[in-house]
Amino acid sequence: MTITLAVTPSGLEVRFTGVDRVAAGRGGLDVPFERVVGSRVLSRADAVASSPRLPCWGSWWPARLRAGSWGIGERRQLWGVRRGAEVVVVYLSGRPFHRIVVEVEDCRRTHRCIDAALLDSKKTATRWSLRAVVREQHDVGADVPSRRQP
C-alpha cells in the first residue's frame, strides 16, 4: 500500500507515493492537531455515500480507487482509498480540507492512535476559545469609526 497516515508529536502526516501520488495529484498533507476535530472508522460504502461526487484533481476507478481532492469549498475532502472495506476518516476544521479519508492496514489501531494523540495534544497545548476570539475581534472593530455617511 502506498498511502500512509502517521501520527507525529505535532499532528498528522498523510503521504502518497508511487501510483497513488499520481492519482491524488499531490504528495501528501501535514495537519497540525489544532485543526483535527476527531476521527472515525467507517465502511468504504458509508464514506463514499457521505462525500461529494465531484472530483477536483482526483482520480477514481469504481470499487478500486478513489484518490485526490473531492468537492469544492467547505465540503472539500482528501481521499486515498483503494479496495479496502474500512477507512479511517479524520475530521478537520478550516481549509483546504474538512475531511481526510484514507485506507491503512489497521484502521482501528490507527483510529485509536489518532484519538490518543489528539487527547494528549489537548492536555499539553494551549487552545483558544472561539468565543473569545470573536469577542476580541468584535471589540477591536467597535473602536473603528463607522464609514456610513449620515
pTM of the model: 0.72
Cβ-proximal residues to 93 (8 Å cutoff; 6+ apart), any chain: 35, 37
DSSP class of residue 127?
A: -
The percentage of residues in the chain with a pLDDT greater than 90, rounded to a whole number, is: 4
pLDDT digits (tens, 9 = 90+) for 37-55: 888 998 888 877 877 666 6
> Are 14 and 31 spatial neighbours (Cβ–Cβ below 8 Å)?
yes
Q: What is the DSSP string of 52-100?
A: -S-EEEEEEETTTEEEEEESSGGG-EEEEE-S-SEEEEEEE-SSS-SEE
Q: What is the mean pLDDT of the chain?
A: 76
For residue 114, pLDDT over 70 is answered with yes
pLDDT digits (tens, 9 = 90+) for 84-107: 789 899 998 888 888 888 888 888
Instruction: Check residue 108 and give its pLDDT.
Output: 92
DSSP class of residue 103?
A: -
